[in-house]
Structure 1
């Protein structure tokens, strides 16, 4: 499994060290840090025997850089949808349901974790193809970063053998751009376009599209566009 763990602007070096230890516990090593805090003695101490994962982490300045070569981006959230942003945080799968969704496919997948104090921005959540949320008590639903990483990696470490390759990240990006172009060409209501675009991204994201499926979808869109009346 080509699974990448992405930490977005982690605040505490001890958490980063603990995350690397959890990654090594379950056999993962691809770690990308977006604008992390300073990683010094505490991070090294908490990483224990996972120092190689800590030292091998890639540092980038934006989330888009961290996921540019990824076919499926999975966002984590301790808060599920509200009436104000439910289209951004739904549907939210449990880690076990997420494992079932990913069974049988291969490719580059990223699980991204937000800031310890306020998680993700809405724009960052819109970059995600799927959302996962760990069921917790309503009294205190937000987990420690390293604990959340550990639970999710525990589930994903036992995903069934991956055989069907996911579509390439670049081709999926072209599909989403093509869908946005189609919405424009059919004069889709402007006030609905952003939510609809995100909804389509989530639908196809959880479908775990294969290369042939992406090409077929783009072929259908081209056929539709040819049938549209000329302006």
Structure 2
């Protein structure tokens, strides 16, 4: 059993950054690179990748984030902005790389590490896709990091994480769990204005909980019991 880390660059703007990311990946022993709608990858990207051209040339290129993260058990979005009044529920709680390493010790599966656009990062809708949010503590004087530097810092921390025999829940089963929760919230007439935040909060709780297959099935069993009791009460 092992942990595979997939670096996903979402619409990177500068091919020099892409090449530098490939180089940082190979520095720390990672090879799984995916890109969503990247900039043209030509001479500068190859030059900056140096002896990591194999990582660059072996990258998966997709048009959608969903395709780039296919098969990943956890989606971890990186951001330099940890929260604001209007979207605090989307960006927090944010973890730092050292915490993430401890969080993943002893597990097996595929972890997608997503990095947003150099100029504007992720959209809020993209951040809602993430199971966890990761940030690198930086100086308040100049908090914004270059993409390749951020990749290097995170992969350095994760380069010696110890995998184990405990598998993460299958991403398809986790998706079904979240859909089941949405059904139950509808069944109990949960307030519409609270629904989105509640679903996102539960998604982040599950991300931190590192759900395993049996736990997902147990949770779905509880949800089915709730729905059966709701149906019985309607008939009385």
For Structure 1 versus Structure 2, the TM-score category normalised by the shorter chain is: over 0.9
CA contact (8 A) 2:107 2:166 kept: yes
Q: 2:115 aligns with which of 109, 113, 119?
A: 113
Range moving further from structure 2, 64-73 or 43-52: 64-73
Give the Cα–Cα distance (whole angstroms) in 2 for the partners of residues 161 and 68 of structure 1. Answer: 21
Question: 2:185 pairs with 179, 183, 190, which one?
Answer: 183
Query: Aligned-pair RMSD on alpha carbons?
Result: 0.9
Q: For residue 85 of structure 2, what is the aligned residue in structure 1?
A: 83
Which one of 183, 198, 201 corresponds to residue 199 of structure 1?
201
- Residues in 2 aligned to 1:185 and 1:215: alpha-carbon distance in whole angstroms: 20
Kindly state the Cα deviation for residue 224 of structure 1 after the two structures are TM-superposed. 0.9
Q: Which residue of 2 aligns with 1:60?
A: 62
| Whole-angstrom CA distance in 2 between matches of 1:177 and 1:69 | 18
Distance 1:130 1:67 in 2: 14
CA apart distance, 1:160: 1.8
Report the TM-score when normalising by structure 1: 0.98
Is 1:20 the counterpart of 2:22? The answer is yes
1:208 maps to 210
Aligned partner of residue 107 in structure 1, secondary structure: strand
Q: If the length of structure 2 is used for normalisation, what is the TM-score? A: 0.96
Q: Please show how residues 1-231 of structure 1 align to structure 2 within 5 Å.
A: 1-228=3-230, 229-230=233-234
User: Greater CA deviation, 152-161 or 51-60?
Assistant: 152-161
Shift in Å, 1:68: 2.7
In 2: Cα distance, 1:51 partner to 1:108 partner: 23
- Provide the C-alpha distance between the structure 1 equivalents of 2:203 and 2:234, rounded to a whole number of angstroms: 28
When the two structures are aligned, how many residues end up with a matched partner? 231
Q: In the aligned structure 2, how far is the partner of 1:54 from the partner of 1:230? A: 58
1:181, 1:155 → 2: CA distance?
39
C-alpha separation between the residues in 1 aligned to 2:164 and 2:48?
Answer: 32
Q: Is the 8 A contact 2:8 2:36 kept in 1?
A: yes
Task: Summarize deviations over 1:184-209 as a string: whole Å, max 9, x none.
Answer: 11100000000000000000011111
Q: How far is 1:230 from its partner?
A: 2.9
1:79, 1:141 within 8 Å by CA — same for their partners in 2? Answer: no
Secondary structure of the residue aligned to 2:234 is coil
Structure 2 unmatched ranges of 5 or more? none
SS of residue in 2 equivalent to 1:6: strand
